[in-house]
Chains A and B, each alone.
Chain A
Amino acid sequence: MSEGGPPDPLARLGERLDKARSKGGGEPVAGPDASSGQQGVALGLRIGVEFVVAVVLATGLGWALDRWLGTRPWGTIVLFFLGVGAGMTSVYRAVTGIKTAVGYRRLDANAGGDAGRQRAKDERDDEE
């Protein structure tokens, strides 16, 4: 900085950046790569728990209902299968809808939620 570069701090920063880049051998690397890898790991961590918790929790709930209502073993059986179903759907959704919601992917395909979406959009427009 002592060589009397341009007085504008931004231009000076640009100069320094250029110098650092030419010295350090090119661009800073792997922005998108790293983040997509991270998303993959995050997804893996997500779905591992999803299924197990669904099954265990549902079965436990069924067991508790059985104790409470004296309907053994039907509550446990029914809720076990419901839990498996719920676990599978949430895993399936987590995998297929990586970039979208856990719930429904076809957000744009119908008019049902348009009112809310329109309102949301309006708000966004107001913001900008």
Chain B
Amino acid sequence: MAIELQPLEQFTIERLIPLHIGRLDISYTNSALLMTIAVVLITALVVLSTRRAALVPGRWQSVAEISYEFVADMVDTNAGHGAREFFPFVFTLFMFILFSNLLGLIPYSFTVTSHIIVTFALAALVFVGVTIVGIVRHGVHFLRLFVPEGVPAVLLVLLVPIELLSYFIRPFTLSIRLFANMLAGHTMLAIFGGFAASVGVFAIFPLGINVLLVGLELLVAALQAYVFAILTCLYLRDALHLH
């Protein structure tokens, strides 16, 4: 009963294998376990399905090829020319988030991406990486990203801070979007699950809503991975093709 009454309990981190180095807690948690599963599954999908690559792909090979083509197409259309070298990064990011989201939908599992520290780490990785790419490619010229062209000098006083702000806000929007969507969706599922447990015969209604919600959550899981990856591409494009 306790689980039904506490919709946030599903987000608890549990130490599966306690590990401490000095005062540092590096225990292997349920979160880490789910990440490991995601990585193993993705690797298995890509490696095993293409090991005996056929001209006419089988089911698993099709899945791997479709995801490859989907991301490759995304990188090409959104990050522009010369961004193909970042394809592995975007693909890894997309697959990891997608699998984490989908695995989280399995009952009694754990949603890695519902923790902001995880999404923020991913977003910070993107942010720092993109900034480094921009600086390496363009040097000091990279700072022109913050100076809109063809604007009178007076307005620059106002516009440059706005540009700076909207640049440094990126990792936050990126991480909060993913985290909030996951948190909200799973909380909602748990709440309706709790209703179902407490209303007896009428449980059919909240249960029905939950069925619909799971469908919605599947969509959100895929879409959020897509949004995260596409924004990474767009940021890359900014860094690669400065004005």
- Seen from chain A, the residues whose Cβ lies within 8 Å of a Cβ on chain B are 9-10, 13, 38, 41-42, 45-46, 49-50, 53-54, 57-58, 79, 82-83, 85-87, 89-90, 99-104, 106-107, 110, 112-113, 116-117, 119-121, 123-124, 127
Query: Does any Cβ of A come within 8 Å of B15's Cβ?
Result: no
CB distance from B191 to the nearest CB of A (A): 21
Known: A85-B162, A101-B241. A45 touches B169 (CB 8 A): no
- Seen from chain B, the residues whose Cβ lies within 8 Å of a Cβ on chain A are 55-56, 77, 80-85, 137-138, 144-145, 148-149, 158, 161-163, 165-166, 169, 172-173, 176-177, 180-181, 219-220, 223-224, 226-227, 230-231, 234-235, 237-238, 240-243
Q: In the assembly, what is the distance between CA of A90 and CA of B149, in Å?
A: 17
Can you list 23 A-B pairs with a CB-CB distance of less than 8 A? A13-B56, A41-B219, A45-B220, A45-B223, A50-B173, A53-B172, A54-B173, A90-B166, A99-B77, A101-B234, A101-B241, A102-B234, A102-B235, A103-B237, A104-B238, A107-B241, A112-B144, A113-B138, A113-B243, A120-B83, A120-B241, A121-B82, A123-B85
The B interface, classified by DSSP as helix, strand, loop or mixed, is: helix
The A interface, classified by DSSP as helix, strand, loop or mixed, is: helix
Contacting pair A54 B84 (CB below 8 A)? no
Contact of A45 among B55, B85, B177, B237 (CB under 8 A): B177
Contacting pair B230 A42 (CB below 8 A)? yes
CB distance from A79 to the nearest CB of B (A): 8
Contact of B56 among A10, A110, A127 (CB under 8 A): A10
